[in-house]
Chain A
Amino acid sequence: MNWALILFWTFALISVGSALLVVANTNPVRSALFLVVNFFVLAVFYFTLGAEFIGAVQIIVYAGAIMVLFLFVIMLLNLGAPEALKERGKLGPAPAIVMALVFLSLIGGVGAINSGLRPVSPRAAAFMQTGGTPEKIGASLFDPNLPWLFPFEITSFLLLIGVVGAIILAKRKI
């Protein structure tokens, strides 16, 4: 048993536990806080995989910005007593079974990749070798020989459309 494995299992347990508590909690603020914990542990996983940049961005964007907005909205809405938030409509077991199947197939897929049944694409394998420092990610994103330049630029354009759209929807008179 080496230290990396102990670290992994500790954080894996925290991750799964906090994810369950996000759903199980009746108090919305606590749910949001457990989601923050989950994001944090996810960042730790990124760090241990050598993807430092993604890990840092995970914390900055999700834990630092998006979840603060979530908390902000939850507090502003003043949802009242936690008991009032208990499930109103019963969905029954059918959706749960479907979701469980999807989840299991996901786990199976990841396990298949890891055990070598399905090969990782050579490009992805090459990228996993280079590591996740900001310099490497920047260099590969803007490398014209790699396929990521166009999707990257298109994504930024999409985000810009989103920002403009949000302003137009929110403000009647500009």
Chain B
Amino acid sequence: MPPIPQHIGPIDIVPLIPYLSIAIILGFILTIVPGLIWIERVVISLMQDRIGPNRVGPRGLLQTIADGVKLFFKEDIEPAAVDKRIYYLAPVLTMIPALAAGATIPFASITIKMDDGAIRTLPMIVGNVSIGLLYVLALASLQVYGIVLAGWSSNNKYSLLGGLRSAAQIISYELAMSLALMTGILMSGSVNLVEVVQRQSGGFWNWNVAQAYGLGFIATCIYLVAMIAETNRAPFDLPEAESELIAGFHTEYSSMKFAMFFMGEYASMLAVSGIATTLWFGGWLSPIPHNLLPMHNLLLDYIPGGIWFLFKMYVFFFGYVWLRATLPRLRYDALMNIGWKRMLPLSLVVLFCTAVWATFRMPEEVRPESGADRPIANRQLPSTSPGGGLRSGSIGIAE
């Protein structure tokens, strides 16, 4: 990307980056969901040898928009004897954590030509805080409240069963997921997600997924399975198993409240995919270092980091859809067996082995300072958060 000057007219860009990032994240998530639903429907129909949506717009592209309009104008049914406040609060509670989780994920890089002539690559991130990954983990763990409360407040036994299943499932898989994330933290040596990405620079063989003689790959697989279970998607969609529970926790929801559950689910899918991209697959970095071949510079320099991030995230989304079209739903005891008896011990072993590996690896490997291809040459990043309570500048062990 050709560098952008620091000042466009009288406006300084650098302190605006967090606000730009907020706008981009919210705008992106809220507008991309219809597109994702369309992709899902088309891909599933192709996999199942059906035609799929093809009436509204070219290749049914406007079908989800039509569905959205329908949901807006549908009657908002409120069943008898619901716990009203919690019933209305629940859809909001599924949306908010999913939207807020994007705040510490660096989703792109921006090259800026500073006023003094230096060219700097800054990450696009809302809050470059030292606890980046923990923040996302905290919000992911709050996701369950919306579903549980929706199930409880609906005054419907199927909803309640769906909510309880969801709580049990999310608690069980959160353990394996957290342990896998800890493995990733051990590999990159930081909880700050910008540093996590920076330390994976220099080609896809430096990504965490390829680290530690296959341990990174196992941890990635554990994380990916747990992330599907955390977002209640097939084959782990027991909370809304339609063959036994009608529609599970959102049986009693109609109109826009139902749409909010839908949006929340897709937003949380995007959030966990973003974490997978950042922690295991090098975030916004391109898989091939820029200086590998002279030809690459022409091509790769014009692909901004955000495109790589989007591409990787879409691969995960495609994986979600693929699994939904391929695998049948798990039985409840099988779900618990996999979570507690297979994935948890496996992730503990992987964590232990990675700790041993991290202790004995060469010190140079800790921080690949290969120089030229590092997207951010300057280790002391300027603070990119809008001067809040968090000391966002202190991101590293550097000081």
Seen from chain A, the residues whose Cβ lies within 8 Å of a Cβ on chain B are: 4, 7, 27, 29-30, 33, 36, 43, 47-48, 50, 52-53, 55-57, 59-60, 63-65, 68-69, 71-72, 75-76, 131, 133-135
Q: How far is the CB of A120 from chain B (nearest CB, A)?
A: 21
Q: How far is the CB of B141 from chain A (nearest CB, A)?
A: 3
Cβ contacts under 8 Å, B142 to chain A: 59, 63-64
Query: In whole angstroms, what is the CA distance A72 to B167 when docked?
Result: 7
Counting chain B CB atoms within 10 Å of each CB, the highest count among A53, A63, A64 belongs to A64
Given the known interface contacts A47-B390, A72-B148, A133-B394, the answer about A52 and B141 at a Cβ–Cβ threshold of 8 Å is: no
Residue of A nearest to B89 (CB): A33
Query: Does B129 lie within 8 Å of A68, measured CB to CB?
Result: no
Given the known interface contacts A47-B390, A135-B397, the answer about A68 and B167 at a Cβ–Cβ threshold of 8 Å is: yes
Q: How far is the CB of B27 from chain A (nearest CB, A)?
A: 26
Q: How far is the CB of A61 from chain B (nearest CB, A)?
A: 9
Q: How far is the CB of A163 from chain B (nearest CB, A)?
A: 12
Counting chain A CB atoms within 10 Å of each CB, the highest count among B86, B134, B152, B168 belongs to B134
Q: Is the interface of A mostly helix, strand, loop or mixed?
A: helix
Residues from 122 to 165 in B contacting A, C-beta threshold 8 Å:
129-131, 134-135, 137-138, 140-142, 144-145, 148-149, 152, 160, 163-164
Query: In whole angstroms, what is the CA distance A29 to B152 when docked?
Result: 9
Residue of B nearest to A74 (CB): B152
Cβ contacts under 8 Å, B66 to chain A: none
Determine which of B138, B148, B170, B397 lies in contact with A59 in the assembled complex, contact meaning CB atoms within 8 Å: B138
* In the complex, B174 has a CB within 8 A of chain A: yes
Query: Does B138 lie within 8 Å of A56, measured CB to CB?
Result: yes
* In the complex, B389 has a CB within 8 A of chain A: yes
Query: Does B138 lie within 8 Å of A69, measured CB to CB?
Result: no
Query: Does B134 lie within 8 Å of A134, measured CB to CB?
Result: yes
Cβ contacts under 8 Å, A68 to chain B: 141, 144-145, 148, 167, 170-171
Query: Does A63 lie within 8 Å of B141, measured CB to CB?
Result: yes
Query: Does B152 lie within 8 Å of A60, measured CB to CB?
Result: no
Cβ contacts under 8 Å, B144 to chain A: 64, 68
Proximity string of chain B (385-399) to chain A, C-beta cutoff 8 Å, 1 when within and 0 when not: 000011100101100
Query: Does A59 lie within 8 Å of B141, measured CB to CB?
Result: yes
Cβ contacts under 8 Å, B152 to chain A: 29, 71, 75
Determine which of A4, A7, A65 lies in contact with B171 in the assembled complex, contact meaning CB atoms within 8 Å: A65
Q: How far is the CB of B134 from chain A (nearest CB, A)?
A: 4
Query: In whole angstroms, what is the CA distance A30 to B167 when docked?
Result: 17
Query: Does A134 lie within 8 Å of B191, measured CB to CB?
Result: yes
Given the known interface contacts A59-B138, A64-B138, A64-B142, the answer about A52 and B167 at a Cβ–Cβ threshold of 8 Å is: no
Q: How far is the CB of A14 from chain B (nearest CB, A)?
A: 16
Cβ contacts under 8 Å, B145 to chain A: 36, 68, 71
Query: In whole angstroms, what is the CA distance A131 to B130 when docked?
Result: 11
Cβ contacts under 8 Å, B129 to chain A: 52
Cβ contacts under 8 Å, A33 to chain B: 86, 149
Closest 8 CB pairs of A and B: A64-B141, A56-B134, A59-B138, A133-B130, A52-B131, A48-B389, A56-B131, A60-B138
Query: In whole angstroms, what is the CA distance A45 to B164 when docked?
Result: 31
Query: Does A71 lie within 8 Å of B134, measured CB to CB?
Result: no
